[in-house]
Amino acid sequence: MEQIKRILSFTRRALDDYQMIEPGDKIAVGVSAGKDSLTLLCAMAELRRFYPVPFELIAITIDMGFEGTDFSPIQRLCDELNVPYHIVPTEISKIIFDVRKEKNPCSLCAKMRRGALNNAAKELGCTAVALGHHFDDAVETFMLNLFFEGRIGCFSPVTYLSRVGIKVIRPMLYMPEKDVRYFAKKVDLPVVKSSCPADGNTQREEMKQLITELDRKHDGLRYRIFGAMQRGEIDGFKMNAGMQGIKAYQNETTSNEEEG
């Protein structure tokens, strides 16, 4: 598939730079049914065929408990990719919106989903969980922490969770969101729209819009922020010999998107 080559380029470079996979790893891709996690699933399924470090792959969806959510399109995709698919039912939506009536639910929701995903992965014999956070997510998270918490920080490319005995990896760390959107549209990924009432009305969405506006005025702002995170070695980020600034690599491969 021609469209996946670009996605694999970003993914493999991050896996290599941070040595995210060890021989024999069983990796659970956390599939929320959005474009990011589905793109990651496709990339990891393809890499499984030829990546020099052998690994197993499964997919896990944490069912939040919203009524009417249909994951059957995701099941069909997993069947096509030959990836075992597991749906874990929870009552997270009920707890957050009905019981606790959270006004700002995102932080607690994310924490509960992560806990459910990590525990499920451990029970299924996995050694790692792969999440679909991409380049723009990293920049937005860094800025959110700076603006709203007054601290310098971000999620880590690789995190070891000693409590459950697994590691969390983010193979799409170098992949700009526009490439994710392009791939998802090009191959018609079966994205399932979120049923969360807070979807699209969050501090993250506000930060995304702010960075987009500033980037229009100051071209390359996102890449400079990401580069600063690498040079400052924020939470495990590093400037690797194979990735001397994601901006250069993005320019190098832009023609592929234009041709497609």
Bridge partners, residue 167, by sequence: 128, 160
- Is the pLDDT at 169 greater than 80? The verdict is yes
pLDDT digits (tens, 9 = 90+) for 150-165: 999 999 999 999 989 9
Percentage of the chain lying above the pLDDT 70 cut: 88
Number of C-alpha atoms within 13 angstroms, CB side, residue 88? 22
pLDDT digits (tens, 9 = 90+) for 40-53: 999 999 999 999 99
Confidence grade of residue 109 (pLDDT, cut at 50, 70, 90): confident
On whether the CB atoms of residues 16 and 51 are closer than 8 A, the answer is: no
- Cα 143 from Cα 139, distance rounded (Å): 6
> Can you list the positions of beta strands (E) in the chain?
25-30, 55-63, 85-89, 128-130, 158-161, 166-169
Average pLDDT, the chain: 89
pLDDT at 2: 67
If phi over 0 gives left and psi between -120 and 50 gives alpha, with beta otherwise, what is residue 24? left
Angle between helices 2-17 and 177-186 (to 10 degrees): 140
pLDDT at 36: 97
For 85-91, what is the mean pLDDT? 94
pLDDT at 255: 42
